[in-house]
Amino acid sequence: MPAQPMRLKPVPLWLSALLVWLGLSLAYATWLLGEQRAATLEAFETQSRIVHRLLTQRAEQHEAILAALIAAELSMGTSSGLFETFAASLQRAYPQVASIERYRKTAQGRWQQIASQPTLPLSDGVLEALPERSGEGSLNVAAAEPGHYRLLRSSQHGSIFALRIASERLLQPEELPPPFMGAELSASDGLLLWQLPVRQSSWTGLAPLLFSKHLGSQSQPFVLTSRQAPLPEQLPWLRLGMASAMLLLVSLLSCWALEQYRQSSIARRQLALAQASRINTMGELAAGIAHELNQPLAAMLANSQALANFIADDPPDLPGAQQAAGNLARQAKRAGAIVHRLRQFMSPHTPQAESVELRGVVEGALGLTRETLRRQQIKVHASLPSGLPPVLGDAIGFEQVLVNLLLNAAEAMGGQPLRRLDVSLTREARSLRLDIADSGPGLSSEAASRLFEPFFTTKQGGLGLGLTICSSIIEQAGGQLSVASSPAGGCLFSVTLPIVMEALD
């Protein structure tokens, strides 16, 4: 048996919208984060350049102060008072200068400190290590107490001037970079001169922004390094949330519109198929109606012939003629009822149910088929107890079902040597069960499973509509029509119908 191709289930609408939303949100978030990082990088570099310019200005100020001190050295002489007065005026102008110091060698060869503010003097070893140059001298940096550093410069007159710089006052509060940005200033030998600690980010997997550049002062080529870690609060959460909500709405509307278009396309195709199927099946339905009407019409023909024979007798057989005329009228009514039932079968509305004495319906069906069963020499064994409660349904429809089942059984036993038909009516808890068993050849399991499908038949030239209509009639009454193998070897058709509720009380 060839393998059946696997059919994929359609993706639900909500899942399609979710997938579309996730894809669009991811694409937008990627673009937005890239744009945000570019803007953050530009702002970071701008702020870093501002800090670089300010620190370069401070370095140039420090160089100018030292140059002014060296230039004023001759006028100050060795007087500490003049030096302290001049140093105090410089300190007032430049708040980052914590103190100004002057070192000169005494006659004993030791270095003497004159300072504008009390501070620990530099050791002789540090001062002796400074190179002596002519002209403007050299500029050196030395460590001081925490939060400070010294800038030193020697003059051609043998003095050494020192500026003790307070690192925290290098920049004014309004000049400081944002709190999420860190920076540090270091000398060429690695001495840390100034530092703003960077705020640590919880997103350790992302690389921080970095900026590094030497100051523009030739005498103080210190290195400024600034860094900024990506912080969650810097992300455009509001824009991202609003965009996600809009994308979700667009995704839902788009998927809904596509689903509506798909459903309308399916509906159009189904309508076209239904119209084509209606045209193709009109002939089959017409043949089905003819199949159902064939039984009463054949009976009407037989009774009309019998009526003609009874009248042609000499003398005329009036009782027989009356009986044939009555049978003819009953078959005509039955044909009309069948047409009515076929119309109900084709209609979506369920016929109105009524209380039906099923025993009387069975007897009526046996009476209608008695002549056919007698001609085929079929022995009928009926077990129809009296006093059974009524069932709920349509009497004409039930009679049509039973006649169809009886005639099918008779046709199935046509080639059998033993022809027996057992009809039994029994009561169950809340229903009546009617069994019709024949001694025919029976059905295969495959045929039995498809017996009530429309247009499925085991008869030569059959249409496959009779049992379909029978099953529909029984199901509309709330019952069930089933088929099984008979103990006698043929088929056992069982009709189960619900008892009227009043009869159960």
Tell me the pLDDT band of 275, cut-offs 50, 70 and 90.
Answer: low
Does residue 461 form part of some domain? yes
For the ranges 22-36, 349-363, 425-439, 445-459, the one whose mean pLDDT is highest: 425-439
DSSP assignment letter at 93: H
Are residues 174 and 32 part of one domain? Answer: yes
Among 26-30, 52-56, 470-474, the range of highest mean pLDDT: 52-56
Tell me which of 170 and 346 has the higher pLDDT. 170
At residue 11, does pLDDT exceed 90?
no
- Residue 418 identity: L
In sequence order, what are the residues at sequence separation of 6 or more whose Cβ sits closer than 8 angstroms to the Cβ of residue 444? none
In this structure, is residue 333 part of a structural domain? no
Of the pLDDT bands very low, low, confident and very high (cuts 50, 70, 90), residue 232 is: low
pLDDT in tens, 320-358: 878 878 888 887 877 777 676 566 556 555 556 788 899
Give the pLDDT band (50/70/90) at residue 53: very high
* Percent share of the chain, pLDDT over 70: 79
Nearest CA-CA partner of 119 in 166, 77, 61, 153? 166
7 occurs within a structural domain = no
12 torsion bin: left (phi>0), alpha (psi -120 to 50), beta (else): beta
pLDDT band at 416 (very low <50, low <70, confident <90, very high): confident
Residue 469 CA: distances (Å) to CA of 289, 357, 365: 10, 21, 17
CATH code of residue 395: 3.30.565.10
Bigger pLDDT: 69 vs 231: 69
User: What pLDDT does residue 208 have?
Assistant: 78
Token duo for residue 455: 């247009």
Please state, in angstroms and rounded to a whole number, the distance separating the CA atoms of residues 430 and 389: 10
Same domain flag for 227 and 356? no
Mean per-residue pLDDT over the chain, rounded: 79
Interval 217-225 mean pLDDT: 88
Over range 43-51, report the average pLDDT: 89
Reported as a single tens digit per residue, the pLDDT across 328-337 is 888 787 777 7
Model confidence band, residue 212 (pLDDT cutoffs 50, 70, 90): very high
| Domains of the chain: total | 2
Residue 279 lies in a domain: no
Say which residue, 25 or 390, is predicted with more confidence.
Answer: 390
Q: What average pLDDT does this structure show over 11-28?
A: 73
Question: Which of 184-188, 316-320, 354-358, 409-413 shows the lowest mean pLDDT across its residues?
Answer: 316-320
Q: Which amino acid is residue 103, in one-letter code? A: Y
Residue 229 and residue 356 in one domain: no
Q: Indicate if 88 and 217 belong to the same structural domain.
A: yes
Residue 3 lies in a domain: no
Q: Mean per-residue pLDDT for 302-310?
A: 81
441 CB-near residues (< 8 Å, 6+ apart): 412, 415, 416, 489, 490
Q: Are 443 and 451 in contact (CB under 8 A)?
A: yes
Q: Which domain holds residue 437?
A: 352-504
Establish if 59 belongs to a structural domain. Answer: yes
- Amino acid letter, 85: T
pLDDT in tens, 438-490: 888 888 777 777 777 776 676 765 556 677 888 888 888 889 998 888 776 78
Residue 290 placed within a domain? no
Q: Which of 199-208, 243-252, 469-478 has the lowest mean pLDDT?
A: 199-208
pLDDT in tens, 74-113: 776 656 677 778 878 888 889 899 888 888 887 777 887 7
pLDDT for res 456: 67
CB-based contact 496:431 (threshold 8 Å): yes
266 within domain boundaries: no
